[in-house]
Every structure is written in C-alpha cells, then in structure tokens.
Chains A and B, each alone.
Chain A
Amino acid sequence: MLRTVKLNAGYKELHILFDVDAEMEKNKITAVVGPNGSGKSTLLKSIFGLATIHSGKVFFNGGEITKYPPHARTKMGIAYLPQTDNVFANLTVEENLRIAAYTVDKDEVKDRINTALDIFPELERFMKRKAGTLSGGERQMLAMATALVRKANVLMLDEPTAQLAPKFAELIFDRVVKLRDDLKLTILLVEQNVQRALEISDDAYLLVSGRVAFSGKANDLLEHEKFEKLCMGILD
C-alpha cells in the first residue's frame, strides 16, 4: 500500500534517515518505534513530502509519489497527523475541523465533522473557541479529530496519545483498532507507549539512529529477548 525504498532523507543538508526500506500493508497497523530523535517523525514527514529527500523513493498503491506536493498526497487519501503544531492556534475549533475537510465533497462535510465529534464529544463545547486556548489534551483530541475528518485510506499518526490521560490514550488505541477493522484503513502508528502500540499492531519497525534495526511482526518484536535493550537503542 505504502512503501519506501532506500530512503535517505533529512532537513536540507542534514542527513537523518539512512536507507530506510519500510512497507505498510493494506488494512494493517504498522507500528514505528524507537528512541527519541531516532527519526520516526522524520520518516513520516518524508513519506508525506515535508522533509528533504536526498535519495530513494516513496510508493503509494504501486505508483511513485516521491515528488508530489503534500496537498496532492492528502487528495490521494493519505491523512497525516503531525506530532507537534498539529492544529491552527488562531482558528476556532470549528474552523480547524472545516479546514480539515478541505478535500471532502461539500455535502459530506457536515457528516464527517459529526462523525469525528461523536468520537470526541468533548470538543462540541469548544466549537467557537480558538484552538490556541485549548489544553494540551484537548488540543490533541482536536488534532486526532481533524485526522478523522479527512477522507483517507491510509492514516499516519505521530504519537496520537501524547499528552492524553491514560483513559483517553486507551480510547485512542481502541479507536485505532476499530479504524482498521471497521473502516479497513491502513495505519502507520508512531508511539512512545511501545508496549501498547505493539500489542495492537500487526507489523513493526524499530528505528535507531535513522536506520531500521528491526522489521517484522509486532509480536516478534514484543517477545524479542532483547526487547528492552533494542527499544533503548542498544544494538549488539
């Protein structure tokens, strides 16, 4: 469904990712885990066209999209939830949801926003407030809601549970599984909560210093004898 081939990427001259080969299979959850600064977010940004690609290719549904502008990728059905700066602070919650539905057909916008609000009913109280005045957790819920408003078949989530209370984090994990099972979405999930992420995922990649240190079944990584060490970035 979504695949990177020998991807070398970073920010301008800065080289962060080295020869990353990764593949997200249709209707599966693929977890990307790794220590802080290992390049997880950079991988998502380069798949979406927001980082500098030095060499390598990105494929979506068999076609190459390496050089496409980001907005074109959204239109093709890839939704991406960035880790930081993922809502417009100066726009109201309602406007944030409306702009998230930018690529959705006019008559469907209301429906999709309502569906997202069903999942995060808390947001309804804040519709007219500027997103910049929301608390960290509320903002994260809004960000997640904007990802759901977009019509996508691939969802790339960069730490969707960051800043959320455990109860809400659990709700998001549940919801992610539902998105795979009920809506048949393909999901790429970056998470700090490695244990929970791997439990719900089918496949997994471990990134260490910009290189793939493990790739395979999520369960195999979870039960790997050196699991703890691997996750801290200790390879031997």
Chain B
Amino acid sequence: MSVIEGAIVYSNLLVLLSVGLTLTYITTAVPNFAQGSFAVFGSYISLTLLRLYNLHPYYSLPFTFVLGGLLGLTVYLLMLRPLIKREASVVILMISTLALDLILLGIIGSYSDSLAQFTHKSASRFIFTPYDFNLAGLSAILLVSSLVIFLSLFGLFLLLYKTRFGVALRASMENPDLAEVMGVNVEYTRLFSWFLSGALAAMAGTLLPFRQEIVPSTGAIIIVSIFAASIVGGLANINGALLGGYIIGFSESFLTYNLSAILGTGILLYSKVISLVVLVIVLILAPRGITGVNWRRVLWKKSSSQ
C-alpha cells in the first residue's frame, strides 16, 4: 500500500470514529474515552467470525455494525443515562468512560485469550492484511473503506436533512429543551446517537486491522487521534469530525512517514505526538475548532484590510 493510500484509509476510519464521538458529545455531552475500544470490539468480532466461520472480514461489516450499535446503546442505557439523570458533571461522565475503557480492555483481553485457546491461534495480536486483495490496481481496503465512509455519511446526510426524525435530531442537537417543547422525545435522539456511534466505531474496527496490527489495548492509543480529529474540526459540529478526521489522518500519516525518512523508524512509535501538535496549533488559532470559526468574518476582515 502506498503512503497516500494508507493515509486515505486511515483518515476514512478516523472520520467514522470521530463522527460518532462528536455525535454523542453533542446530544448527551459525554466525551467518550472508550470510543477507541468500541472499535477494537468491532475488530474482535470480525476476528471471531473469521476464525470460527471463515467469514472474510469485509463480509462481517453488517454484523459489527449491529453489534457495535448494541454496545453503544447498552453503555448509554446502563451507565451513562443513570449518571446524566443524576445531573453528573461532564468531568464525572468523562471519568466514567475512562473506567469503561478499562473494563472493555479487560473483557477484550480475556476474550482474546479464550479465543486463542479455542482456536489454537494467537488472538492477542493480529492483522488482516493477508486477507486483502487488489481491485483495479488499488488495494481493496482503500475502496471498501471509502465506500463505507461514503455510504455512512450519505445515509446520515439523507437522514438529517430529508426526514422528519432528522430535522428533530438537528433541532435536539441545537436546543434540546425547545425540541421537547415542540413535542420531540429527545431521549430517542440520544438512543439513536449512541447506537450509531457504536455502530460506526465497530465498522471502523473491522477495517482497521487491514492497516495496522491490533492488540487489545489499541483503543487506548487510537483514542488520541479520534479526540484530536473531533476537537480540531470543532466538537459542536458534525461536519467538524469529517474535516478533522482528514486533517489529523493525513498529517499523522505523512509527517510520520517523512520524519521517519530523516530520523529513522523509531519515530513511528511517537506518531500520536503529531496529532497532539496539530491539535495544539489549531486550538491556539481557533479555540472552537475549524467549524467554530466565523469564516465569513475572517474573509471580510482580510478583504477590507487590503
């Protein structure tokens, strides 16, 4: 896979993950630190289906979508909703998702041991690249991940802009109290966001092993990039996740690649530092992320100062 292919694939997956993160943040004010582990959950579902039923990972996407969605829903219903009902602060919610991340890590870790014992094949680290193939001169993962991101975003767009529930969803994101006044049961929109967030994350998890090796703790590492993407784009806006995902995905891929040519491959270990540097730079220039900038005003200022 060429560097650019790798960068696109990685960015596509990052967008899937950060769209979910931003969505649940807007609708429930929960910064979900377990989003990375939601993805690893998806990776392990695909691994299980591959090892037990010899199902190609690409075909397991529908399963991971549904199961990931159910995971998101369960987490919201069992853990977050009771906390929100008791008016927990955003810090409490954040710490609870950190705890959840540790719980998921434990569960995934012990599950990988059981799976390994059962199938007599290691499951504590794995990669899907041997299962990938070429299509029209391009790696299949490039096409599949692009198709998944296109369909997900197009579907989300149709839903948000063309359906009654979508208008209600956008209304609830902007002002939940007023949406209730209009007769919208805002709780449905929260359930929906957690389902979708879990589902998109798990699909990203199915595709991630085509690009990098997965271990049970991969989630804790990738979460840095997910947050960076969402925050760089602007946490208040769904489109921000899209923009941020590609900015972070590309900078991480290209800068690490170029730096490794100069400084040696040791730099690969620190690729997350790049996300954080980009994050810091963007936040200094635009504290609410890129979509939080009033671009019309910026452009107007520029043209009027000339």
Contacts and interface: CB of A to CB of B under 8 A. Distances in A.
Main secondary structure on chain A at its contact with chain B? loop
Given A95-B167, A99-B167, A99-B171, A85 B183 contact: no
Given A12-B87, A85-B175, A91 B170 contact: yes
B167 A70 contact: no
Given A71-B186, A99-B168, A102-B164, A89 B174 contact: yes
A193 interface: no
Given A98-B164, A102-B164, A74 B181 contact: yes
B132 interface: no
Max chain B C-beta neighbours (<10 A), residue from A50, A69, A85, A102: A102
B183 A91 contact: no
Contacts of B185: 69, 71
Interface residues of B, number: 19
B177 to A, nearest CB: 6
A70 B180 contact: yes
Contacts of A219: none
Contact of A90 (B168, B170, B180, B184): B170
Contacts of B174: 88-91
Contacts of A89: 174
A98 B180 CA distance: 14
A144 B108 CA distance: 54
A48 B182 CA distance: 12
B168 to A, nearest CB: 6
A102 B167 CA distance: 10
Max chain A C-beta neighbours (<10 A), residue from B168, B179, B183, B185: B183
A20 B167 CA distance: 37
B182 A146 contact: yes
Interface residues of A, number: 25
Interface in A71-97: 71, 74-75, 80, 82, 85-91, 95
A70 B87 contact: no
Contact of A82 (B164, B181, B183): B181
B144 interface: no
Contacts, number: 65
B181 A70 contact: yes
Contacts of B170: 88, 90-91, 95
Main secondary structure on chain B at its contact with chain A? helix
Contacts of B186: 71
Contacts of B183: 71, 74-75, 102-103, 150
Contacts of A88: 170-171, 174-175, 178
Nearest to A81: B181
A48 to B, nearest CB: 7
A100 interface: yes
Max chain A C-beta neighbours (<10 A), residue from B178, B180, B185: B178
Contacts of A69: 180, 185, 187
B178 A74 contact: no
Interface in B164-212: 164, 167-168, 170-171, 174-175, 177-187
Interface in B56-112: 87
A97 to B, nearest CB: 10
A100 B179 CA distance: 9
Interface string A145-163: 0100010000000000000
A99 B179 contact: yes
Nearest to A75: B183
A96 B299 CA distance: 29
Interface in B220-257: none
Interface of B: 87, 164, 167-168, 170-171, 174-175, 177-187
10 tightest Cβ-Cβ pairs between the two chains A and B: A74-B183, A103-B183, A70-B180, A102-B183, A71-B180, A71-B185, A99-B171, A71-B183, A88-B171, A88-B174
Given A89-B174, A99-B184, 4 more contacts: A71-B180, A91-B171, A98-B164, A103-B183
29 contacts: A48-B181, A50-B180, A69-B180, A69-B187, A70-B180, A71-B183, A71-B185, A74-B180, A74-B181, A74-B182, A74-B183, A80-B181, A82-B177, A82-B178, A85-B178, A86-B178, A87-B178, A88-B170, A91-B170, A91-B174, A95-B171, A99-B167, A99-B171, A99-B179, A100-B182, A102-B183, A102-B184, A103-B183, A150-B182
